[in-house]
Chain A
Amino acid sequence: MGKTSKDKRDLYYRRAKEEGWRARSAFKLLQLNDEFNLFDGIKNVVDLCAAPGSWSQVLSQKLPEDSKIIAVDLQPMTPIDNVVTLQADITHPKTLTTILHHFNGELADFICSDGAPDITGLHDLDEYIQSQLILSALQLSICLLKPGGKFIAKIFRGKDIDLLYSQLSNLFEQVICAKPKSSRSTSLEAFVVCLGYKPLPGWKPKLDLNKSTEDFFSEIITDKEFDIPEETRKMVKFISCGDINDIDSDATYNNLDKLTLDPIQKPTAPPYKKALEMRRNGEFNRRL
């Protein structure tokens, strides 16, 4: 979250700054919780792809003090009270071991992921990378979740989302597509809420660095190699979360004062920072 003109138009964005959240996405988890009471009776919690940490902030505030919250991300994160931050790869078996160690060998009650990749603009690639992110979160979750546990993840409702719904429905009692009011209706973003984890009988999932997420799940897929898979698609229930009188993230609100607020956390430098500097200094384009 930078210091931008968004302050003037996005009420959630502004409120996030005022209330000390590191990103406006905090409201998405709060609204999901209002609908599904996600935080009831949970103790061991994992927040995947957690940076900058707004969901961990929510968890830290809303859960009892004796809960164990672990936030994992490849990027470094500023510490949060009562949250263990791990800079680690969620597909690495060692990460699983570390988390289990923090839980004293107990399993997790709740795992969430608000991760999204950088968008290229090539829709099929973007959707694939997002699905890989979800499947990576899911494979760790499968090794980590207590039977009956909950899993929620950010999804983009693109062309193959019904394949994912079908896959998730094999592993959870209930799968719902939820869209908090704080998520713009112009965005394809939504959240898949999976309740009641039911481990597949006889399957002992194991993280392996040399396996792709597809390899991991292939143990429960029976397709012959190279055949176009029999695609099982499934539609799931849609629930809009948040009160009807909540702020509408698509609306424009007038009369906001012009003051811009400092961001709670400075944005990280983009990979193209050097290119911007060079262009500014006229060092671009060596011509003959």
Chain B
Amino acid sequence: MNNEISCLNEDKFKPVTPYGPITAIKIHNNYIYVGYGSLLKIYNIETQESVFQTQVFKRRKIHSIDISPNGESVLLSGEKSFMVANLSDLFEEKAEYIEKSIHEWIITSCFSDDSTILLLNAYNNVYQINLSDYTYEKIHCNEKSILYSGSINILNDGEIYIAAGTVMNGVVIWNLKTRKIVYNLKDHEGSIFGVKIDQTGKFIISCSDDRSIKLYDFRTGNLLANGWGHGSRIWGLSFFKSENDKIMSIGEDCTLRIWKFDGTDQLVQLRLYENCHRGKHIWSGDVDDDICVTGGADGKLRIHDLNEDNQNVEKYSIDEISETCQFDLMKNEFIRDFYELETCLILLTSNGHLIKFEKEIKEFRYMGHYSTLINFGIVKGFKELGIVVIADRQGDLLVTDGDRTEWIDSKINRTISNIFTYSQEHQYFILMDCPNPNIPYILYKFNDSFNIVEVKEVPKPEKFITISSIALDLENNWLVLATKKITIGIIDLNSMESKVFRRISQGDTISQISIINPSKNNLDLLILARDGIYTYLRTNLSSIEIYQQNKLTRGFIEGGSIQNNELILYGFKSSYFYVWNETRQIEIMNQYCGGNGHRQYKFIKQNNGFRFIYNFKNYLCICEFQHRFKDYGLINQGTHGREIRDLSIGENGLLAIIAEDSTISLNKIINGGVKHYWSMNNHISGMQRIKFMNENYLGSSAANEEFIIWKLNSMDDIPTIYEVARLEKTKDVPDLRIMDFDSIEITSDTFMIATVYSDSQIKIWNYNKGFNLISKWIYKSCCVLNVQFCTFGDVVYLLIATTDGFISVYKLTNDYKNHSVVLRTQLHQSSIKAINLYKRDDDHYILITGGDDNAITVNALNQKGDVLSIDLIDRDEFAASSTITSISKVNDTEFVVTSVDQIVRLWSFKDTTLKCNAEKFTTVADTGCSDITEINNEKILVIGGAGLSLWNL
């Protein structure tokens, strides 16, 4: 045995940035204390800046944090460890971190006074420890249930109660002093994941496997109310600091919910924060009175504003409006449309009444009745000018600033179907569309005084029926029109020549088209489709190229914009309106509004937030949302919220990751951290492999027989990724997985590709825009796990590694059409989980393998004359305590191995002997993949699993 199991020359590895589950959060005064795995991080709430960060536990994760009553010390505990540190020492970076340990898992811990701490262990025992000399007493209530959760509750009257959430036996509440069980609450089914008592001793709350929250009367033990709503397990809950009838809860479904007990037997859900993290699981959270902080499996830390004033909804019924405005309401009259200006909102009812709503004083004022606007009226406007424009059926425009009104005769004299507005740099446009396809569009141009300065007839492109959105490129003088089925038309307004790009991709109606970047004879467009597809493309009028395209799985897209290089989208999902940050993969806000239907609404971006104005059941609702925290309250960047399955590093630190959440993320390693750009939803499930094929192409494989080729590009220095091709399915077996693939570059856009399958198939393809199957054969019946090409001179070989522990090498003919087995040898007892094959010199390759049998082997593949042979250089059957999952090459004779025992090892084989040179524990559990790159002459190792970690070598 070469290695000493878990730590050796640890300084050869320097951890730089970890991302992983946040396991503990404590809000105290103006700071947020965060258990980021083994690290303690402290953030200032006001500035949202990190003020402290250090790894305090050697291996274990922090699961509980408390601050002493005098505010001088912090108590950390997690797994079997605990530690008390002086806070001012900590901030002055002179604290000593003395990790202490008990024999059992610590569920929670707290100070009972400045010099005494209490630890509740998983066996429902409390250690009461005197900090001056670490003398202790072990206290129990004679009920040794195994706990999943629990709390130590110091009530205002000084009594201390233990609330224990057991695995099998409900909730046990006991008094620490008397050691008597007060209640054994058995209303839940399944394990209890959270239980707390409020400080005043009025209520008990608990949550469990059964997806309910239960609120009990602490004085009687009677169940008072249930809270239903979480879609899966609830991981934690907490009372608000000063309102004990309000509760926050967090769960596996990635939601944060705020509840209120109103005396009835069902808790009222006051607020729902959905998708506030990525993937699955919000593991930790804490609530103050008007903020809540959550930490997810994605490693993100988010601060949520609970101040109701910052997402305020005002509602006005149409009856109330007609009453104050003193007009008679027709039966079924409704608010047809509205447009908001700086100081007022102009409303049009279905019966032609025009009303002004003064925003400042919140009063409605009647503006008049317009008979031509009965049953028709399109309300648009130019906010910069303070002007609302209402088109009647004949295209005549009623223009108002809220005080004066004036008609503009459009001189069309025929029925119109719609008008569109566009403005840029003191130029204002209205485009009028008629239902007749032979009648041209009319484009009006206005100046700052809103006088028409130009009227143009723009011929309709052929078969271009309903416009859904327009944009004007003033640089090239191009008019861009969008319609159904992702079809756009571009008209050169100088020559009036038009070009239509039909069905640019799958998708429904374009809800919004906008210009990203105009440049001479080139135009970058952002196209948003209602069914959730967004597209970035570049066109020069004669052709288009898609740079980026993805489909949202959460809901519909009605509109969006790019702000500070981040894509912000909004739309509807089920009964909600939502605003989504696609770049950061978090929901910014949602508002319950009954869903989209044919709802009339406006979404207006403001300085520090936005307004969402909508009709809902006879009410005009004005929702005002203000950002209280910068970056949407995102304090710490994270990564996938599910286990990372594979990763690959390309040119310039580009990092592609696939995870259990079925997404591919495109990131970049910048300053030792990972910056996220895109999260692609094209795969369905069972992600297997991701690899850069060259600097322009990326490949990914998954279950459902999926293999996708992605084109890489960049727009405005932002890397982009777009699916250019995917293999067609041949079988209706969802479990048929493409386990691995490899490619040989023929030209920069064409490849030879090998794909290997879970049903033992091997296929060779030629890729040149599309796939052409060259050859296929079957290995045996077992699953093929790895594949790689290797070439000696002109001869191409294909090496596969399989679940039976064998590697096999096939010699391919020059045309790749035929193959013959030239080598087959067993290197492992069972699955070969990882291989690394690289050319050492013209005559030989080095093959390193790692198995499910904890072993690694190093071999040389030699070609002598026509004969290929494999020679074992060395092997180690005790290379790890667990499955080997990845092998990354450092240099010709050194490599890094990851395994599920969470030890990263550096091996060398200089003198034909395998030697482990360094070993270090990684906090990334389920360690499954790694890759090495060099940035600024520094070797960076990226480790993936339940989290992501960057190390310097």
Which residues of A line the B interface, CB within 8 A? 5, 8-9, 74, 91, 117-118, 120-125, 128-129, 132, 157-159, 161-162, 165, 177, 179, 181, 185, 188, 209-212, 214-215, 218, 221, 223, 225-229, 233-235, 237-240, 244, 248, 250-254, 270-275, 278-279, 283-288
Inter-chain contacts of B79 with A (CB < 8 A): 124, 128
Are A272's CB and B900's CB within 8 A?
no
Are A254's CB and B900's CB within 8 A?
no
- Other-chain contact of A251, B230, B233, B803, B855 (Cβ < 8 Å): B803
Are A210's CB and B142's CB within 8 A?
yes
Inter-chain contacts of B946 with A (CB < 8 A): 123
Are B5's CB and A233's CB within 8 A?
yes
Are B228's CB and A252's CB within 8 A?
no
Cα A234 to Cα B209 in complex, Å, equals 36
Cα A161 to Cα B758 in complex, Å, equals 29
Q: Specify which of A125, A162, A237, A251 lies most central, judged by the most chain B CB atoms within 10 Å of its CB.
A: A251
Are A215's CB and B23's CB within 8 A?
no
Least distance between A144 CB and chain B CB atoms (Å): 20
Inter-chain contacts of A279 with B (CB < 8 A): 231
Are A185's CB and B833's CB within 8 A?
yes
Q: In this complex, what residue of B is CB-closest to A254?
A: B759
Are B101's CB and A74's CB within 8 A?
no
Cα A212 to Cα B103 in complex, Å, equals 9
Cα A74 to Cα B168 in complex, Å, equals 9
Cα A221 to Cα B102 in complex, Å, equals 12
Cα A253 to Cα B592 in complex, Å, equals 47
Are B23's CB and A122's CB within 8 A?
yes
Are B782's CB and A251's CB within 8 A?
yes
- Other-chain contact of B6, A8, A162, A223, A271 (Cβ < 8 Å): A162
> Taking the complex as formed, is B852 at the interface, i.e. its CB lies under 8 A from any CB of chain A?
yes
Q: Specify which of A158, A209, A270, A272 lies most central, judged by the most chain B CB atoms within 10 Å of its CB.
A: A272
Given A226-B134, A227-B101, also A250-B269 (CB < 8 A): no
Are A254's CB and B758's CB within 8 A?
no
Inter-chain contacts of B877 with A (CB < 8 A): 237-238
Inter-chain contacts of B191 with A (CB < 8 A): 118, 271
Inter-chain contacts of A117 with B (CB < 8 A): 167
Cα A165 to Cα B100 in complex, Å, equals 24
- Other-chain contact of A210, B140, B208, B782, B900 (Cβ < 8 Å): B140
Question: Considering the complex, which residues of chain B in the window 53-72 have a beta carbon less than 8 Å from any beta carbon of chain A?
Answer: 58-61
> Taking the complex as formed, is B190 at the interface, i.e. its CB lies under 8 A from any CB of chain A?
yes
Inter-chain contacts of A209 with B (CB < 8 A): 144
Are B6's CB and A272's CB within 8 A?
no
Inter-chain contacts of B142 with A (CB < 8 A): 210
Cα A120 to Cα B149 in complex, Å, equals 12
Cα A216 to Cα B735 in complex, Å, equals 45
Given A225-B136, A251-B760, A252-B736, also A210-B144 (CB < 8 A): yes
Q: In this complex, what residue of A is CB-closest to B903?
A: A159
Least distance between A12 CB and chain B CB atoms (Å): 13
Inter-chain contacts of A120 with B (CB < 8 A): 233, 235
- Count residues on chain B whose CB falls below 8 Å from chain A CBs: 96
Cα A283 to Cα B833 in complex, Å, equals 47
Q: In this complex, what residue of B is CB-closest to A228?
A: B101
Q: In this complex, what residue of B is CB-closest to A229?
A: B101
The 5 closest A-B pairs by CB, nearest first: A271-B190, A123-B925, A214-B103, A9-B735, A185-B831
Inter-chain contacts of B23 with A (CB < 8 A): 122
Interface of chain B, main secondary structure = loop
Are A165's CB and B881's CB within 8 A?
yes
Question: Considering the complex, which residues of chain B in the window 205-229 have a beta carbon less than 8 Å from any beta carbon of chain A?
Answer: 208-212, 228-229
> Taking the complex as formed, is B902 at the interface, i.e. its CB lies under 8 A from any CB of chain A?
yes
Are B781's CB and A253's CB within 8 A?
yes
Inter-chain contacts of A212 with B (CB < 8 A): 103-104, 121-123, 125, 144
Given A132-B122, A228-B100, also A286-B266 (CB < 8 A): yes
Inter-chain contacts of B60 with A (CB < 8 A): 124
Are B101's CB and A235's CB within 8 A?
no
Q: Specify which of B146, B190, B269, B902 lies most central, judged by the most chain A CB atoms within 10 Å of its CB.
A: B146
Are A285's CB and B228's CB within 8 A?
yes
Least distance between B802 CB and chain A CB atoms (Å): 9
Inter-chain contacts of A179 with B (CB < 8 A): 830, 852-853
Inter-chain contacts of B211 with A (CB < 8 A): 272, 275
Inter-chain contacts of A234 with B (CB < 8 A): 5
Q: In this complex, what residue of A is CB-closest to B737?
A: A252
Are A240's CB and B229's CB within 8 A?
no
Are B782's CB and A9's CB within 8 A?
no
Sample of 11 more A-B contacts, CB < 8 Å, known A210-B144, A238-B855:
A157-B882, A158-B902, A179-B830, A211-B144, A227-B100, A254-B731, A254-B759, A272-B209, A274-B210, A274-B212, A285-B269
Question: Considering the complex, which residues of chain B in the window 172-204 have a beta carbon less than 8 Å from any beta carbon of chain A?
Answer: 188-191
> Taking the complex as formed, is B610 at the interface, i.e. its CB lies under 8 A from any CB of chain A?
no
Cα A179 to Cα B883 in complex, Å, equals 11
Are A244's CB and B804's CB within 8 A?
yes
Given A124-B60, A158-B925, A225-B136, also A284-B760 (CB < 8 A): no
Interface string of B855-886 (1 = CB under 8 A from A): 10000000000000000000001101111000
Cα A214 to Cα B210 in complex, Å, equals 30
CB-defined A-B contacts under 8 Å, sample of 23: A9-B734, A121-B297, A129-B167, A157-B900, A158-B900, A161-B901, A185-B833, A211-B144, A212-B122, A228-B58, A240-B830, A248-B782, A252-B759, A253-B759, A270-B209, A271-B209, A272-B233, A274-B212, A275-B228, A275-B230, A286-B228, A287-B268, A287-B592
Are B854's CB and A238's CB within 8 A?
yes
Question: Considering the complex, which residues of chain B in the window 110-148 have a beta carbon less than 8 Å from any beta carbon of chain A?
Answer: 121-123, 125, 134, 136, 140, 142, 144, 146
- Other-chain contact of B5, A121, A157, A162, A223 (Cβ < 8 Å): A162
Inter-chain contacts of A91 with B (CB < 8 A): 144
Question: Considering the complex, which residues of chain B in the window 241-263 have a beta carbon less than 8 Å from any beta carbon of chain A?
Answer: 252
Least distance between A60 CB and chain B CB atoms (Å): 27
Cα A218 to Cα B80 in complex, Å, equals 14
Q: In this complex, what residue of A is CB-closest to B235?
A: A120
Are A218's CB and B103's CB within 8 A?
yes
Cα A251 to Cα B757 in complex, Å, equals 8
Are B5's CB and A228's CB within 8 A?
no
- Other-chain contact of B270, A221, A227, A288 (Cβ < 8 Å): A288
Inter-chain contacts of A228 with B (CB < 8 A): 58, 81, 99-101
Inter-chain contacts of A158 with B (CB < 8 A): 882, 900-902, 925
Are B882's CB and A226's CB within 8 A?
no
Inter-chain contacts of B210 with A (CB < 8 A): 271-272, 274-275
Given A121-B281, A157-B881, also A248-B781 (CB < 8 A): yes
Inter-chain contacts of A125 with B (CB < 8 A): 105
Inter-chain contacts of A128 with B (CB < 8 A): 79, 105, 122
Q: In this complex, what residue of A is CB-closest to B193?
A: A120
> Taking the complex as formed, is B43 at the interface, i.e. its CB lies under 8 A from any CB of chain A?
no
Q: In this complex, what residue of B is CB-closest to A136?
A: B146
Are A252's CB and B757's CB within 8 A?
yes
Cα A190 to Cα B880 in complex, Å, equals 15
Cα A223 to Cα B233 in complex, Å, equals 37
Given A159-B59, A188-B883, also A250-B901 (CB < 8 A): no
- Other-chain contact of A240, B21, B134, B167, B829 (Cβ < 8 Å): B829
Are A278's CB and B103's CB within 8 A?
no
> Taking the complex as formed, is B751 at the interface, i.e. its CB lies under 8 A from any CB of chain A?
no
Inter-chain contacts of B235 with A (CB < 8 A): 120
Inter-chain contacts of B592 with A (CB < 8 A): 287
Least distance between A32 CB and chain B CB atoms (Å): 14
> Taking the complex as formed, is B572 at the interface, i.e. its CB lies under 8 A from any CB of chain A?
no
> Taking the complex as formed, is B677 at the interface, i.e. its CB lies under 8 A from any CB of chain A?
no
Inter-chain contacts of B733 with A (CB < 8 A): 8-9, 252, 254
Least distance between B450 CB and chain A CB atoms (Å): 43
Least distance between A257 CB and chain B CB atoms (Å): 13
Inter-chain contacts of B757 with A (CB < 8 A): 252
Are A225's CB and B267's CB within 8 A?
no
Least distance between B824 CB and chain A CB atoms (Å): 13
Least distance between B58 CB and chain A CB atoms (Å): 8
Least distance between B257 CB and chain A CB atoms (Å): 9
Inter-chain contacts of A239 with B (CB < 8 A): 829
